[in-house]
Amino acid sequence: MGACLLLFLMPFWAACKDLVMNNELAITSIAVQGTNLVVMAAVPSGLGQVTLEMRPTLDGQWQAAGLLEVPAGGGGVTFTIPKPGDMQFFRLNATAGVASAGVVSPELNYVVTAPLGPDPEVEAQSNGGSTEPEAVFHFKGTVDGSDRIVITRDGALWEHVHWGWPEGVVTVNRTQWDPRQKNYLTTAGTTKFLAELFSLDAVNLERIKGRDVVALERTNNALIVYMDDTLVGAGEYEFKVHFHPARQRAARAGASSAAILKIAAEIDGSDCLKITSTEATWDHKYWRGPANVRLNEVSWPIEQTNVLQNAGTNVFLPAGVDFSTARILSRKGRDLATVWAEEQALWVWFADSPNGSDYYELEIGFGQ
């Protein structure tokens, strides 16, 4: 199994263990490996066999796609099947014995869409030499609480975190997508969801509509889109993630200074922190403002000032830090804590959609 697929599936192995502990039969992840589809499942103890079933429509007949023996005591199983060419619904059907009525899992919807790019309109412009080609992930839908979408070259996987699922379907590039389960959006055949021409790092976010947080995070061979609506009820969101060809970075006079920045705070609602070499600026969005804020060893009384100068007794970062080298070393908190880095600045997003507040901590390394 390739390294890319392993990195993509790692977050879901933990989820698989949780489901087994809760004695639930469920599909925990789905991903593409070449021309195959890899479906991972959590199976509770007491079951002898589990069948992966599929059907193209809600009223279609279920057909067996694979059959596996369950490990003693339950655990995780992995199905590898040819990649379907159109939309499919998947479920698991497990039995304890010949006379058993069976245990059926919730359904998972595998949605097929067109590749993200090149965008036809942008490509037409690029032919005149005015702009480069790009791929676009165009999202429209409602968000109630917190959700995240993991985008890889093979597809997009939706993870719901807190509060309600989207009301009705959402759309991605005009393809309808109902993410009531951990749904997977991909392309037919061997065509990549995101072509190799486009970088998973050279991206920008275009916010069109949305009352709270939409944030991006770079990770190994993937881009994570976070949507966090901390207000009461659901909100309408629309945004575009633009993917560009890889860009060659300009040569710098020297390497980045090695540094670690630990940000800690009590968060209730949503907040955005912008950090440059000279200062940090805290932008509070909704609900109660942050408390007990610290940047490394520097205490920051946000209620007195939302700007902290990186000077004098308040130095929280050394000179010469290249912010684009930032990577998350560790994080704490029950909801969103993420970082977006460019060469000259760092944006840190916190969002806590459950009731009350929680302690959050981000440790970020530079030049390592």
Domains of the chain, by residue range, sit at 3-108, 120-245, 259-366
Residue 280 has a pLDDT of: 98
Which residue is it, tokens 């944006």?
Answer: 347
| 12 has a pLDDT exceeding 90 | no
pLDDT at 250: 58
Query: What is the helix (H) or strand (E) element at residue 350, kind and residue range?
Result: strand 346-352
At 9 the pLDDT is 37
* Dist CA 112 CA 110 (whole Å): 7
CATH fold label, 3-108: Immunoglobulin-like (2.60.40)
Q: Judge residue 234's burial from the number of C-beta atoms within 10 Å of its C-beta, 0-12 exposed, 13-18 middle, 19 or more buried.
A: middle
Q: Please say if the pLDDT value at position 261 is more than 90.
A: yes
pTM score of the predicted model: 0.81
Average pLDDT, the chain: 86
Asked if 120 and 134 touch (Cβ cutoff 8 Å), the reply is: no
- Residue 213's CB: how many other CB atoms inside 10 A? 26
What is the model's pLDDT at position 47?
84
356: left (phi over 0), alpha (psi -120 to 50) or beta: left
Q: Which pLDDT value is given to residue 228?
A: 97
Which of 28-42, 104-118, 296-310 has the largest mean confidence? 296-310
CA 55 distance to own-chain centroid = 27
Is residue 98 predicted with pLDDT exceeding 80? Answer: no
pLDDT surpasses 50 at 306: yes
Name the strand (E) or helix (H) holding 19.
helix 3-21
Contact (CB, 8 A) for 226 and 236: no
| The pLDDT of residue 129 is above 60 | no
- 176 within 8 A of 113, measured Cβ to Cβ: no
Nearest Cα neighbor of 94 from 79, 105, 86, 84 is 105
Q: What is the pLDDT of residue 259?
A: 94
pLDDT, one tens digit per residue, over 228-255 is 999 999 999 999 999 999 877 655 555 7
Structure token digits, residue 210: 């949305």
Q: Angle at CA 105, nearest 5°, toward 6 and 222?
A: 25
Taking only the tens place, the pLDDT of each residue in 177-188 is: 988 766 889 998
Of 79-88, 204-213, 333-342, the one with minimum mean pLDDT is 79-88
Q: What is the largest CA-CA distance in the chain?
A: 76
Higher pLDDT, 285 or 16: 285
pLDDT at 20 over 60: no
| CB-side neighbour CA atoms (13 Å) of 226 | 26
Paired residues of 282 in beta bridges:
273
Question: Residue 57: its pLDDT value, please?
Answer: 84
**Would the pLDDT of 323 be above 60?**
yes
Q: What is the pLDDT of residue 34?
A: 81
DSSP percent split of the chain into helix, strand, coil, nearest 5: 10, 50, 40
Q: Which helix (H) or strand (E) holds 12?
A: helix 3-21
Residue 126 is predicted with a pLDDT of: 47
* Average confidence (pLDDT) over 31-53: 88
Asked if residue 368 has pLDDT above 70, the reply is: yes
In this predicted structure, what is the pLDDT of residue 3? 33
